[in-house]
């Protein structure tokens, strides 16, 4: 028993990314009593995007891995930007991804009283003071990194004087920006964040959560470590740009420790620690809330949940399954290296998931009539089709068949290249699930466009199997002309035309918008497609994965189908190369 324990403490599992190892080492060493508490701390000032999903998977994932818990906390210390609408949608998105914070929901605003108390304590112990310098003046006093700054004239005023001033700030006696509370640290530190950082500012603004109770609000650098400490968070993970803030984070934790305000859990004093990892970047999109907001406000997209947006809600409407997003987040890994992930990796993860789960249907997007001349005019019959070849339990369905069908115009070629295995005069193809068909002739209009494809079926090939076992290379999809239903579809493509829309700065990114990123068309589908419910996925064979849009559907209850992603198409890839 004893030796077992020793082995555990000395050999943390040497696998997983660096943050995993960091936590594993703490657990093995018995730090915080071996408990792990993480947190995901969004500011409710925008919608969550795929970059946040990476952080969510990390924060909740590490908690689960070490049998701990992950808090959800609204980091709402700036009333000017935050709202309930954002907070509600953030919660919805996290749940949709499949994570649960249980009873551990927090709001920074709920800790304003304690933050205020800590600020007063700092003033009393001479570690904070009220400064009246204007922002311009302060900029000059703070100085540049290469040389020490200058002390604020208020730096050495007495605690009594500062306390009185701070209380008057709280009482609303001063206008915005005329005064602020600064931590008294080190004006000559090479780390700018140590040069007496502002920890409270005056903002006469109603907070979506606390209303008019406050007119002073804490700054991030002060609030965040307090939030972590008060909640008893053990491991606080954030993105790389906060690396230089870490000494200040630790400074605040030290002060709380001196004040005896750190949480004691099971006899262990919980001292939160911060570590940083690289944020996610994706090709062909932008990931900053600010820029996404610009797209929304300039009507370049249809809102935060436009299926072209890299937001969680946009991807949901596009038809990306939550598991695909989680698998993607796992596969990009956690490092400190600033990298850009190929969008195709995300798409491939989505295809992998949908290939397993989505039912197949036949739909024709660019129809041309195909007539089976040896099939009786008034006859119709039904053929069995497999719903999902990757999942036998999905069963089969019947597809109606008749003399006149629609097929893709692209599936016919007048002068086909040698490796074209589709319709051409004299060639035999398989009509998926139905029969073998040989094209005999076509009818063209005055412009040379094919209006009808004619041919004959092998009457012994019903169901699509060759009676003599001959191989037929090409199989094409079709719908029966008199049975087909018309469905609205939205074909989406990437939002930007270049891998890095910010290649010449964030002010010019809109010029790289892809004008062709949405294409609304009609398609003809087999009748069963009309029965799809909003929120269901489908693969239209040989075309792509589609998602019945939960927001829009027609009066006849046929949904609008958003194209989630195309199928891989090695024929198109090869032929476009030539």
Partner RNA sequence: UGCCUCAUGGUGUAACGGUAGCACAAUUGACUCUGGAUCAGUUUGUCUAGGUUCAAAUCCUAGUGAGGCAACCA
Site residues (CB under 7 A) for RNA, limited to 169-188: 176-180
Q: Strand order in 105-107's β-sheet?
A: 37-40, 69-74, 105-107
Tell me if 475 contacts RNA by CB under 7 A: yes
Q: Distance between CA atoms of 92 and 238, rounded to whole angstroms?
A: 22
Minimum CB separation from RNA for residue 523, in Å?
15
Structure tokens that stand for 173 in this block: 């006696």
Chain positions 377 to 416 lying near RNA, rule: CB under 7 A, are 388-390
Residue closer to RNA, measured from CB, 177 or 395: 177
Location of structure tokens 């008057």: 168
Least Å distance, CB 82 to RNA, is 8
Cβ closer to RNA: 114 or 278? 278
**Nearest distance from C-beta of residue 20 to RNA, angstroms:** 8
Residues 39-58 that bind RNA (CB under 7 A): 41, 43
Residues 256-285 that bind RNA (CB under 7 A): 278
Name the token pair of 55: 């952080």
**Token pair in block for residue 298:** 């300039």
Does residue 245 belong to the site contacting RNA (CB under 7 A)? yes
Residues 6+ apart with CB under 8 A from 531: none
Q: Is 474 in the site for RNA (CB under 7 A)?
A: yes
Angle 87-90-96 from CA coordinates, rounded to 5°? 145
CB of 565 to RNA, least distance (A): 10
Rule CB under 7 A: choose which of 242, 249, 320, 375 binds RNA.
Answer: 242
Distance CA 424, CA 414 (A): 6
The answer to whether residue 192 forms part of the interface with RNA (CB under 7 A) is yes
Catalytic residue among 150, 155, 167, 279: 279
Q: Which of 332, 370, 529, 548 binds RNA (CB under 7 A)?
A: 332
Element (H, E) at 111: none
| 387, 463 contact by CB (below 8 A) | no
Q: Among residues 70, 72, 133, 313, which is the contact residue for RNA, using CB under 7 A?
A: 133
| Residue from 171, 240, 264, 459 binding RNA (CB under 7 A) | 240
Q: Is 433 in contact with 385 (CB distance < 8 Å)?
A: yes
Token couple for 338: 């600033």
578 binds RNA (CB under 7 A): no
Interface with RNA: number of residues (CB under 7 A): 96
Helix (H, G, I), strand (E, B) or coil at 101: coil
**Residue with smaller CB distance to RNA, 104 or 420:** 420
Residue 522's φ and ψ, nearest 5 degrees, are -110, 150
Among 463, 468, 520, 556, binds RNA (CB under 7 A): 463
Among 6, 67, 125, 339, binds RNA (CB under 7 A): 339
Strands 428-431 and 435-444, bridge-based pairing: antiparallel
Is residue 361 part of the annotated active site? The answer reads: no
Strand partners, 443: 452
Residue 348 binds RNA (CB under 7 A):
yes
Quote the CA–CA distance of 100 and 388 in Å, as a whole number. 31
By the rule CB under 7 A, 115 interacts with RNA: no
| Catalytic residue numbers, as ranges | 43, 279, 289
């Amino acid at each position: 028993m004893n030796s077992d324990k020793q082995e555990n403490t000395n050999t943390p599992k040497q696998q997983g990314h660096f943050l995993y190892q960091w936590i594993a080492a703490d657990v093995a060493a018995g730090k915080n009593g071996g408990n792990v508490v993480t947190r995901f701390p969004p500011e409710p000032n925008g919608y969550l995007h795929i970059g946040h999903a990476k952080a969510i998977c990390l924060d909740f994932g590490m908690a689960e891995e070490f049998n701990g818990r992950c808090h959800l906390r609204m980091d709402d210390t700036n009333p000017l930007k935050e709202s309930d609408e954002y907070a509600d949608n953030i919660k919805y998105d996290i749940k949709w991804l499949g994570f649960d914070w249980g009873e551990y929901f927090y709001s920074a605003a709920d800790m304003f009283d304690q933050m205020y108390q800590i600020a007063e304590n700092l003033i009393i112990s001479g570690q904070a003071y009220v400064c009246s310098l204007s922002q311009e003046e302060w900029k000059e006093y703070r100085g540049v990194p290469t040389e020490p700054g200058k002390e604020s004239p208020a730096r050495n005023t007495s605690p009594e004087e500062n306390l009185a001033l701070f209380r008057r700030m709280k009482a609303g006696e001063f206008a915005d920006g005329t005064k602020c509370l600064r931590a008294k640290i080190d004006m000559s530190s090479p780390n700018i964040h140590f040069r007496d950082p502002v920890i409270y500012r005056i903002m006469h603004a109603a907070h979506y959560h606390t209303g008019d109770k406050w007119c002073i609000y804490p700054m991030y650098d002060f609030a965040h470590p307090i939030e972590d400490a008060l909640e008893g968070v053990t491991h606080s993970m954030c993105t790389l740009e906060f690396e230089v803030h870490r000494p200040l984070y630790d400074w605040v934790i030290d002060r709380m420790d001196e004040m005896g305000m750190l949480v004691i859990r099971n006899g262990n004093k919980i001292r939160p620690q911060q570590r940083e990892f690289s944020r996610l970047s994706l090709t062909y999109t932008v990931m900053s809330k600010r820029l996404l907001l610009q797209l929304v406000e300039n009507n370049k997209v249809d809102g935060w949940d436009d299926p072209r947006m890299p937001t969680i809600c946009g991807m949901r409407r596009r038809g990306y399954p939550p598991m695909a997003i989680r698998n993607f987040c796992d596969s990009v890994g956690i490092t400190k290296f600033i990298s850009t992930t190929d969008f195709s990796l995300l798409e491939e993860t989505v295809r992998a998931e949908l290939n397993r789960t989505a039912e197949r249907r036949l739909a024709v997007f660019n129809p041309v009539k195909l007539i089976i001349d040896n099939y009786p005019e008034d006859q119709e019959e039904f053929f069995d089709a497999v719903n999902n070849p990757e999942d036998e339990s999905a069963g089969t369905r019947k597809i109606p068949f008749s003399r006149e069908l629609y097929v893709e115009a692209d599936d016919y070629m007048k002068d086909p290249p040698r490796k074209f295995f589709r319709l051409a005069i004299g060639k035999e193809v398989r009509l998926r699930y139905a029969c073998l068909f040989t094209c005999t002739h076509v009818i063209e209009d005055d412009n040379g466009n094919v209006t009808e494809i004619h041919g004959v079926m092998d009457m012994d090939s019903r169901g699509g199997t060759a009676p003599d076992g001959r191989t037929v290379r090409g199989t094409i999809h079709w719908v029966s002309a008199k049975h087909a239903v018309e469905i609205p579809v939205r074909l989406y493509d990437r939002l930007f035309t270049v891998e890095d829309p910010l290649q010449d700065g964030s002010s010019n990114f809109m010029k790289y918008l892809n004008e062709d990123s949405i294409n609304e068309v009609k398609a003809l589908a087999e009748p069963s497609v009309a029965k799809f419910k909003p929120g269901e996925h489908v693969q239209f064979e040989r075309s792509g994965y589609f998602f019945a849009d939960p927001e829009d559907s027609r009066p006849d209850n046929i949904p609008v189908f958003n194209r989630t992603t195309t199928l891989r198409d090695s024929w198109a890839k090869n032929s476009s190369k030539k």
